[in-house]
Structure 1
Amino acid sequence: MSSGTVPSRLIVMGDNTTRLWGLSSYERIERLADKAGVGGPKADTTSLWADQGYAFDPLWMTHAMATPRLWVMHGDRPVLVRDEAALLPRIAGEAMLPPEGASVYRIEDRPTLYNESLRKQQQPFFEPLVPGNVARLERESYYGAYKGVTDILTKYLWPELAFHLTRLAARLRMTPNMVTVLGAIGCIAATFFFLYGHYWAGVAVGFVFMVFDTVDGKLARCTVTSSFWGNIFDHGIDLVHPPFWWVAWALGLSHHGLAYSATTFGWVTGTILIGYVVQRLIEGWFIKRFGFHIHVWRKFDSDFRLVTARRNPNMILLVGSLVFGRPDIGLILVAWWTGLSLLVHFWQVITAELQQARGEPVTSWLEG
């Protein structure tokens, strides 16, 4: 549990010229500490000490913020410490025993920590930063930034493609917002392609947008450049655009002689739009009610997130319908799947409330 305070200052020791994601070790540690609020208005009397001869997952910084007497060790050497100034190592590489009462982690044991923001248990990397390790550490940090609970395409289809694009963007010194803007252009273009019945072109451009939607978030996490407005921009596009895609798809059917009747158009688009909004509202309510995301409650809920009626799973249905030359049937399938997914959401909420009413705690299975 968080102590509610952060260290009063950052102390980075040692020397290292090896770069990770284009950042020097010192710059990366400084960005992580700044993002975590070290030295902010809620600072306590402890200091955060780091050996820049090592690279570590951002989750270790989060854990340090929640653990006032944290000592991360590599053998007999401290590599990340949060403690009172008088107890800190004097130089990098110094052999030192952690003081009595400290929370000690040894990186050679690869401890498992829960990443609340990414909704997964993980063994965050913490290793020497040397030239021979850079490629492997970049890959590990990239995959470590992946959500443990997400849709089937994001989890299985394009992680490797997005990894190489993320590395390229970092080498080109692109910011996450630049990638988001490029993706937004593709998102708008896909909408117009769908509207005029150019479905395959829309799918192709939409695929690029969906991959870029992964790249911007991973680039932000890997280069420690996420920002409040960047998150608003990225997640705002994610939240708003799907209904426009589905309505444009329905209107584009007229260009293929497959236009719906007024009644069919009403129930198909109405079911999809209302179902989408209500599902999102349920997810937000669940977080407010129980303090965590509905998709990480039980293993079933995490598994169902792979295919629940969101943009990417819906696109699988639509692309399948294009293969058979029936984009009209594809959208009808999306409507049915949206309705079924909404029923699952209601069942999840009712089950959680009944469990709470019985006096049984509602907690995430990933935290166990």
Structure 2
Amino acid sequence: MTAADYPERVVDAIGPDMAASASSHQPIVIPVGANPTPIWGMTAAERLRRMAAARGLPLAGDADAAGALLANLRFAFDPAWLPYLIARPGTVLTREGVPVLAHVTTPADRARVMAAMEADGPLDPGTLAVIAAEADEGIFNEALRKREKPFAERLVPAAVPAIERASYTGAYKGVTDLLTKYLWPEWALWITRLCARAGISPNQVTAVGSVLCIIATIAFWYGWFWSGLAIGLVFMVLDTVDGKLARCTITSSALGNAWDHGVDLIHPPFWWWAWAAGCTPYGHPLSHDGFVAVIAAMLFGYVAQRLIEGAFIARFGMHIHVWERFDSRFRLVTARRNPNMVILFAGLVVTRPDWGIVAVAVWTMASLVVHLVRLFQAMVVARQGRRIVSWLA
């Protein structure tokens, strides 16, 4: 995960024509009111400014502009609501009747919504479409690969922990591996809060993680597997933290994108190679032919799976792991870094790291077959004239 994972592309009932129209007529963003209560180490006004900047939206500006997004600073809302309302002029998001965020297009609507926000009272919507934040309906977030219910809550000191948790949870991918989904969340939330309050940037977290990744590789190479696993564990948690920190604090950069994604893409094969080499000093060396076969299988399987995932996105416009329920469940255990580390850990527990790396090679090839079959199945379905859509949509 990375700082550049931040951009939210909300895909639900928004059609391509509506989305194109919204992007060509960007509204100005107008903060209404004031709120000193900090969230993720920043004021509500600063958080709104960052959200607007991240989407290229002008803040305040032309008071007579036709379209405006009015944001009530008494509330904190999920960044996913911005693109959602941008695509829906004449819509207002409310919480217990009080307007939180509104996309208005006429002076009369603007005046009526601003008056309700300033009075902290219920809104007479008139012709505006109303979305109640407390309603059960959700939206599908393609960037995070999940159906979600974005939050919009009153920002008061007592509510900050719950709002930060909702913000953090909202930044979590719904379809990911089992460690990221079930083991990391609480650890990463604690570290993310600490970093936000200390002013530590996502890129600084990525830098620390990169150093730990290199140290873990060296430890594996020399057969210091337990030390390497401990260091790698910290790196893997930080690999989750940097992306969550970026989304929660609304910070992102091209450098963070290239850096973090580059580390994520490049380091796994080096870990597997180092682990296989480290079996010799550990005392359970692989044979020459076994070493070559394991590394060849893992390198080929790793690259081929990435290519299949890219081909699926290019052909069908979505991740292969969100097509059907099976694909989302298989993503929990597919041969990516974190599930592979579980296998290596199991091998080390029985003092046979060589068995662990062989098992990872076998699982990598098995996962490759599953991905290849799913790609061909999707192509067959498409040729039959049926749309390929996510089961989460």
Aligned match for 2:114, one of 90, 110, 126: 90
1:232, distance to aligned residue in structure 2 (A) = 1.7
**Which residue does 2:9 correspond to in 1?**
none
Q: Residue 110 of structure 1 contacts residue 124 of structure 1 at CA under 8 Å; is this kept in 2?
A: no
Q: Residue 224 of structure 2 contacts residue 282 of structure 2 at CA under 8 Å; is this kept in 1?
A: no
1:320 and 2:320 are equivalent in the alignment: no
**Which residue does 1:14 correspond to in 2?**
33
Q: Residue 193 of structure 1 contacts residue 201 of structure 1 at CA under 8 Å; is this kept in 2?
A: yes
1:97, distance to aligned residue in structure 2 (A) = 2.3
Paired residue secondary structure (2:76): strand
**Which residue does 1:167 correspond to in 2?**
193
| Number of residue equivalences | 364
- Counterpart residue type for residue 362 of structure 2: W
1:97-116 mapped onto 2 (5 Å cutoff): 97-100=124-127, 102-116=128-142
1:107, distance to aligned residue in structure 2 (A) = 1.6
Aligned match for 2:203, one of 166, 177, 181: 177
Q: Residue 202 of structure 2 contacts residue 245 of structure 2 at CA under 8 Å; is this kept in 1?
A: yes
Q: Residue 21 of structure 1 contacts residue 223 of structure 1 at CA under 8 Å; is this kept in 2?
A: yes
Q: Which runs of 5+ in 2 are unaligned?
A: 1-13
In 2: Cα distance, 1:71 partner to 1:111 partner: 15
In 2: Cα distance, 1:99 partner to 1:235 partner: 47
Q: Which runs of 5+ in 1 are unaligned?
A: none
**Which residue does 1:258 correspond to in 2?**
284
Aligned match for 1:59, one of 71, 75, 80: 80
1:116, distance to aligned residue in structure 2 (A) = 1.2
Deviation sequence 1:102-150 (CA, Å, 0-9, x none): 4420123253111111000111110100011001111111111110000
Instruction: Rate the CA distance shift 1:85–1:12 in 2: closer, same or farther, 3 A.
Output: farther
1:24, distance to aligned residue in structure 2 (A) = 0.3
Q: Residue 90 of structure 2 contacts residue 103 of structure 2 at CA under 8 Å; is this kept in 1?
A: yes
1:332 and 2:355 are equivalent in the alignment: no
Q: Residue 54 of structure 1 contacts residue 128 of structure 1 at CA under 8 Å; is this kept in 2?
A: yes
1:275, distance to aligned residue in structure 2 (A) = 0.2
In 2: Cα distance, 1:103 partner to 1:247 partner: 57
- Counterpart residue type for residue 54 of structure 2: K
In 1: Cα distance, 2:302 partner to 2:196 partner: 34
In 2: Cα distance, 1:273 partner to 1:75 partner: 54
**Which residue does 2:173 correspond to in 1?**
147
Identity %: 48
Instruction: Rate the CA distance shift 1:148–1:56 in 2: closer, same or farther, 3 A.
Output: same
In 2: Cα distance, 1:108 partner to 1:323 partner: 48
**CA RMSD of the aligned region, Å?**
1.6
Deviation sequence 1:7-32 (CA, Å, 0-9, x none): 33111011211010011011111111
Q: Could you tell which deviates more after superposition, 58-67 or 165-174?
A: 58-67
1:49 and 2:70 are equivalent in the alignment: yes
Deviation sequence 1:59-85 (CA, Å, 0-9, x none): 111212322232112344322011214
Aligned match for 1:34, one of 40, 53, 61: 53
Q: Which runs of 4+ in 1 moved over 6 A?
A: none
- Counterpart residue type for residue 90 of structure 1: M
1:94, distance to aligned residue in structure 2 (A) = 5.0
Aligned match for 1:275, one of 301, 308, 315: 301
Q: Residue 70 of structure 2 contacts residue 114 of structure 2 at CA under 8 Å; is this kept in 1?
A: no
- Counterpart residue type for residue 184 of structure 1: S
Q: Could you tell which deviates more after superposition, 70-79 or 173-182?
A: 70-79
In 2: Cα distance, 1:73 partner to 1:82 partner: 12
1:45, distance to aligned residue in structure 2 (A) = 3.7
Instruction: Rate the CA distance shift 1:185–1:6 in 2: closer, same or farther, 3 A.
Output: farther
Aligned match for 1:237, one of 263, 274, 279: 263
- Counterpart residue type for residue 197 of structure 1: G
Paired residue secondary structure (2:181): helix
1:69 and 2:90 are equivalent in the alignment: yes
Q: Residue 90 of structure 2 contacts residue 129 of structure 2 at CA under 8 Å; is this kept in 1?
A: yes
Paired residue secondary structure (1:219): helix
Q: Residue 246 of structure 2 contacts residue 252 of structure 2 at CA under 8 Å; is this kept in 1?
A: yes
Paired residue secondary structure (2:392): helix
1:257, distance to aligned residue in structure 2 (A) = 2.9
Aligned match for 1:190, one of 216, 222, 235: 216
- Counterpart residue type for residue 71 of structure 2: A
Deviation sequence 1:185-229 (CA, Å, 0-9, x none): 100000000011101100000000000001111100100012222
